[in-house]
C-alpha cells in the first residue's frame, strides 16, 4: 500500500520548523536563519508499518496568533506538528490556547507538540518547567543535532497509517 499524507508544521517565528523539515528531508542543518514567507512545501517517501507513505510537509510561516493562519494552509491536513523553541518560553506560553483553537477548528486532526532546540537547554529543567505549566509534549528534539527528528516523523507516519 502506498499513500500520501499532508502534515503541517505550526509554531511561532524562529522555533526551527524549517530546520526540522530540512533535517528530516535532506539531513542538513544551517545556522543561517531565513524567514518562511507563506508556506514552503517538501515531501519525502518513507516506510512506516511496512507501507510506503509519502509525507507532504507544509512548513507554514510562524505566527504567535494561530487564528491568523490562512485556512487554506491547514485545510486537508492529516496531522499538525506544533513546534516550540525549548530555549524561549514565550514560544510555548500560549500553547494551550493555540492547541484549543486547533482542536476546535480541526477536531479530527491529531496534533503532535514538539520542543525543538533542546541542544541549547538543560533538558531536565525544561521537562520540570513544562510539567509545572502542564504542557504535554510528544518529543523534545534538535534539528541541529538531529535528535529525535527521524523518530518524530516516523511515529507521525505510523499513526497516520493506523488512522487511515
What's the grid cell of residue 138?
A: 510528544
Q: How many residues does the chain have?
A: 164
pLDDT digits (tens, 9 = 90+) for 117-132: 999 999 999 999 889 8
Domain layout of the chain by residue ranges = 2-163
Give the architecture-level CATH label for domain 2-163.
3-Layer(aba) Sandwich (3.40)
Confidence of residue 88 (pLDDT cuts 50, 70, 90): very high
Answer whether residue 1 shows pLDDT above 70: no
Cα 124 from Cα 140, distance rounded (Å):
11
Residue pair 113/82 in contact (Cβ under 8 Å)? The answer is yes
Q: 51, 89, 71: which is closest to 8 by C-alpha?
A: 71
pLDDT digits (tens, 9 = 90+) for 24-51: 999 998 877 676 777 899 999 999 888 8
Amino acid at each position: 500500500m502506498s499513500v500520501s499524507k499532508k502534515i503541517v508544521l505550526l509554531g511561532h517565528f524562529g522555533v526551527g520548523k524549517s530546520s526540522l523539515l530540512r533535517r528530516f528531508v535532506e539531513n542538513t542543518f544551517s545556522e543561517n536563519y531565513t524567514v518562511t514567507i507563506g508556506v514552503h512545501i517538501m515531501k519525502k517517501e518513507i516506510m512506516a508499518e511496512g507501507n510506503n507513505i509519502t509525507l507532504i510537509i507544509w512548513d507554514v510561516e510562524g505566527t504567535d496568533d494561530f487564528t491568523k493562519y490562512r485556512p487554506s494552509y491547514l485545510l486537508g491536513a492529516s496531522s499538525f506538528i506544533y513546534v516550540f523553541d525549548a530555549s524561549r518560553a514565550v514560544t510555548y506560553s500560549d500553547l494551550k490556547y493555540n492547541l484549543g483553537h486547533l482542536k476546535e477548528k480541526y477536531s479530527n486532526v491529531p496534533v503532535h507538540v514538539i520542543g525543538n532546540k533542546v541542544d541549547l537547554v538543560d533538558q531536565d529543567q525544561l521537562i520540570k518547567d513544562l510539567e509545572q505549566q502542564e504542557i504535554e509534549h510528544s518529543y523534545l528534539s534538535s534539528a541541529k543535532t538531529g535528535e529525535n527528528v527521524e523518530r518524530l516523523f516516523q511515529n507521525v507516519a505510523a499513526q497516520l497509517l493506523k488512522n487511515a
